[in-house]
Amino acid sequence: MFLPQYCGTPSYAGIIPPQLFRACLSCGLLWSAVDPKGLRALIARCGGELGLQHLDEIDHGPYRDLPDTDLAREIGDKIAELDAIARTQTPGAMVRRCRELYSATWDQAHLDAKEWPRLSREDKLERFGWSPKEKEKKAPLDDFDSPFF
């Protein structure tokens, strides 16, 4: 257990940790009291795609943008599982689960494990074969000069 005596208190996005905090020297766990709204604001402003999706999952659940069907719940659970693995930053476990959950090749599983924290929710759903009903429609090729049209 580490109890600091002579350290400054850095301020990150208006979150000022109290002068007295505790830290575990074996795992690095730090605990004290911080403003939850300020912490959410910090994650929203500085967090990556995975952090933003985690906040959204906490607020609305893993099935937040899916219909109430068995397949949708299964896909939501799989994405939540891969997100949890990605947050632990264990690439080997991530590659294995990608291979098991959606039968990716080894090469694809390695690429997905590397890119997963930056993928949008829609891209993650597409990995499992789910595509939203209202996809962006491409502009018609009216101005395309082709003898085949």
Q: Which residues contact 145 (CB under 8 A, 6 or more apart)?
A: none
**Within a domain: 143:** no
Provide the residue range defining the domain that includes 84. 47-127
- What is the C-alpha to C-alpha distance for residues 113 and 144, in angstroms, rounded to an integer? 39
Answer for the pair 15, 42: CB distance below 8 angstroms, yes or no: yes
> Domain count of the chain?
2
Q: Can you give the pLDDT at residue 16?
A: 53
Could you tell me if 51 and 29 lie in one domain?
no
Q: What are phi and psi of 2, to 5 degrees?
A: -120, 125
Could you tell me if 64 and 99 lie in one domain?
yes
Answer for the pair 20, 3: CB distance below 8 angstroms, yes or no: yes
Could you tell me if 56 and 119 lie in one domain?
yes
**Within a domain: 103:** yes
Could you tell me if 27 and 63 lie in one domain?
no
Answer for the pair 30, 22: CB distance below 8 angstroms, yes or no: yes
Could you tell me if 13 and 52 lie in one domain?
no
**Within a domain: 95:** yes
Could you tell me if 118 and 70 lie in one domain?
yes
- What is the C-alpha to C-alpha distance for residues 18 and 81, in angstroms, rounded to an integer? 34
Could you tell me if 62 and 30 lie in one domain?
no
Percentage of the chain lying above the pLDDT 70 cut: 69
**Within a domain: 138:** no
**Within a domain: 101:** yes
- What is the C-alpha to C-alpha distance for residues 110 and 113, in angstroms, rounded to an integer? 5
**Within a domain: 10:** yes
What is the amino acid identity at position 98? Answer: C
Q: Can you give the pLDDT at residue 2?
A: 39
Could you tell me if 25 and 61 lie in one domain?
no
Q: Can you give the pLDDT at residue 8?
A: 46
Q: Which residue ranges in the chain fall short of pLDDT 70?
A: 1-23, 25, 31-34, 132-149
